[in-house]
Every structure is written in structure tokens, then in C-alpha cells.
């Protein structure tokens, strides 16, 4: 586990170094077309899934917490609970899990197939840095698009919660947003943003690392893809816990 972790960190430094070396020669760090293709794939392509799952989770969370809090007459806490919960915790976490499953798996399978077919080695043999050419645009795309997806997740969860609050808890829409405004603090938003960038970086790096280290043909690609998703989700949850400990220590 430690060896894999150090290899992923090594991949990050090697990729950064290779990209900077290329940039120093007055060239673009990578092909913009590849970067935009990857942002479209990782970001735009993930919106329907992230939006739908977050809407359902927002509905469920409001319904369950409302059901419990109603017995104490404190159901007005529901909007704040959903808003803080999603902004700070569930938005980045759920989006991270979905992106790891959808994009992480795709990256690993794609790079793994290229590795098995010697395409990655051919790129290296031509003197084109494969890390700069293949890894940089992919990792950067998922790193930059994660916060955007988290915003989508948060909005959709709040829409779901607003719907339940209005229908089931008699909290009107303007009152719902007033309660959110009172509950949500700047540090919750900052925590969510930091986490989403961090998770994006982790997912991108783990997926590319697993893809570039595939061994053993088609079965190897399958194993690496499974391992990539499992590893990325585990590491994301692990870092989420770590980030929570640090952020709580910093703010509270």
C-alpha cells in the first residue's frame, strides 16, 4: 500500500517535471484539444449522473432527517443540515466516488490498453514524454472539473431537499433559502472546495498510475480497472477523514 502511495506521488512529481521541462522549451505543456476532450468527458459527461444521484440523496436526506426532527419540532433545521452536510462532506465525497467509478475506470482502461499495445512505449521511444502527453491533460481535467461537479451535486441535493421541505415539512422555498443562508458558513464552502480539488487529483493520479502499470494483457487491464476504482474510492474516503480531522482542528 505504502509502495503504491509513494509511486503515485512519484508519478505526480515526474509528470510535473516532464511538463515543466517541455514548457521551458517554449512549447505548450500539452495539446489543448486533448485537454478539452478530457474536460468534456470528465466534467460535462458526468453531470447527468452526479445531478441525478445528488437529487435523490438530497430528497432522501431531507425526508429522513425531517422525519426524525419533526418529533422534536425542529424540522426547520433540515435545510441547514442538508446544505452543510452536502457542501462540506457529501457533495465532494459522493461526487468523488462517482467520478472514480466513471472517469477513473475509463482512464485506467484506456491507458492500460495503450500500455499493453505498446502505444505508451512507442510515445516514449519517439522522445515524446508520455507522462506529459497522456497524464497531464487527464489529471488536470479531473482536478479542475471536480469542484464544478461538486457545485452541481450541492445544487441538485438542495433542490431535492427544497422539494421535500415544501411538500412534507411545510417550509416554503424563500424560508428554505433563508435557513440555508443562516446555517451555511464560509468555512463549510472552503472545506468543500479544498476536498473537491484534492479528490480530483487523487482520482486522476490513481487512475493514470494503474493504467500505466498494467501487466499481462486483457486480464491485466480488467484487474487494473477494478483495482483503480477500489483504490481511488478507498483513498478518497481515507483523505476525506483526514481532511475532516485537519479542518475541524483548524476551525473548531
Partner 1 sequence: MDTPLVEMSNVDLSFDGTRILKGLSLSVAPRERLVILGQSGSGKSTTLRLILGILHPQHGSVKFKNEEVTHMSRAKLNRMRQKIGMVYQYSALISSLTIRDNLALPLEELTDKSREEIDQIIEEKLAMVGMEDTGERMPSELSGGMKKRIGLARALVLNPELVLFDEPSAGLDPVISSVIDELIISLTEKANTTSIIVTHEMDSAFKIATRIAMLYQGKIIEEDRPERFRRSENEVVKQFVEGKTDGPILENKKS
40 binds partner 1 (CB under 8 A): no
CB 222 within 8 A of CB 112: no
Stretch that binds partner 1, among 13-21, 99-107, 139-147, 170-178 (CB under 8 A): 13-21
- Least distance in Å: CB of 205 to partner 1? 19
16 binds partner 1 (CB under 8 A): no
Q: How far is CA 64 from CA 157, 161, 168, 240, in A?
A: 14, 10, 11, 24
Give the Cβ contact number of residue 194 at 10 Å.
15
> Among 8, 18, 29, 55, which residue sits at the site for partner 1 (rule: CB under 8 A)?
18
CA pair distance 164, 62, nearest whole angstrom: 6
218 binds partner 1 (CB under 8 A): no
Q: What residues between 131 and 150 interact with partner 1 by CB under 8 A?
A: 133
> Which segments of the chain are extended strands (E)?
none
Nearer to partner 1, 122 or 246 (CB): 122
89 binds partner 1 (CB under 8 A): no
114 binds partner 1 (CB under 8 A): yes
Nearest to 221 by CA among 95, 120, 94: 120
13 binds partner 1 (CB under 8 A): no
> Among 5, 52, 64, 125, which residue sits at the site for partner 1 (rule: CB under 8 A)?
125
- Least distance in Å: CB of 156 to partner 1? 32
CB 46 within 8 A of CB 98: yes
CB 207 within 8 A of CB 112: no
Q: How far is CA 36 from CA 28, 29, 39, 91, in A?
A: 14, 14, 5, 24
167 binds partner 1 (CB under 8 A): no
> Among 16, 123, 189, 247, which residue sits at the site for partner 1 (rule: CB under 8 A)?
123
Interface residues with partner 1 (CB under 8 A)? 17-18, 21, 113-114, 117-119, 121-129, 133
Amino acid at each position: 500500500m505504502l509502495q503504491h502511495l509513494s509511486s503515485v506521488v512519484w508519478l505526480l512529481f515526474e509528470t510535473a517535471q516532464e511538463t515543466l521541462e517541455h514548457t521551458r522549451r517554449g512549447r505548450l505543456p500539452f495539446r489543448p484539444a486533448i485537454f478539452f476532450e478530457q474536460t468534456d468527458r470528465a466534467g460535462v459527461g458526468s453531470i447527468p449522473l452526479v445531478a441525478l444521484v445528488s437529487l435523490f440523496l438530497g430528497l432522501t436526506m431531507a425526508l429522513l432527517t425531517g422525519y426524525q426532527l419533526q418529533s422534536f419540532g425542529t424540522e426547520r433545521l433540515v435545510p441547514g443540515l442538508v446544505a452543510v452536510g452536502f457542501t462540506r462532506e457529501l457533495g465532494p465525497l459522493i461526487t468523488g466516488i462517482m467520478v472514480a467509478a466513471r472517469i477513473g475506470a475509463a482512464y485506467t482502461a484506456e491507458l492500460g490498453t495503450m500500455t499493453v499495445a505498446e502505444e505508451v512505449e512507442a510515445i516514449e521511444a519517439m522522445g515524446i514524454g508520455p507522462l506529459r502527453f497522456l497524464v497531464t491533460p487527464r489529471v488536470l481535467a479531473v482536478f479542475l472539473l471536480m469542484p464544478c461537479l461538486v457545485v452541481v451535486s450541492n445544487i441538485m441535493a438542495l433542490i431535492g431537499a427544497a422539494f421535500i421541505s415544501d411538500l412534507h415539512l411545510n417550509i416554503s422555498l424563500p424560508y428554505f433559502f433563508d435557513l440555508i443562508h443562516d446555517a451555511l458558513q464560509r468555512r463549510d464552502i472552503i472545506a468543500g472546495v479544498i476536498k473537491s480539488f484534492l479528490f480530483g487529483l487523487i482520482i486522476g493520479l490513481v487512475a493514470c498510475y494503474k493504467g500505466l502499470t498494467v501487466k499481462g494483457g486483457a486480464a491485466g487491464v480488467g484487474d487494473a480497472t477494478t483495482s483503480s476504482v477500489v483504490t481511488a474510492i478507498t483513498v478518497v474516503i481515507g483523505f476525506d477523514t483526514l481532511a475532516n480531522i485537519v479542518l475541524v482542528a483548524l476551525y473548531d
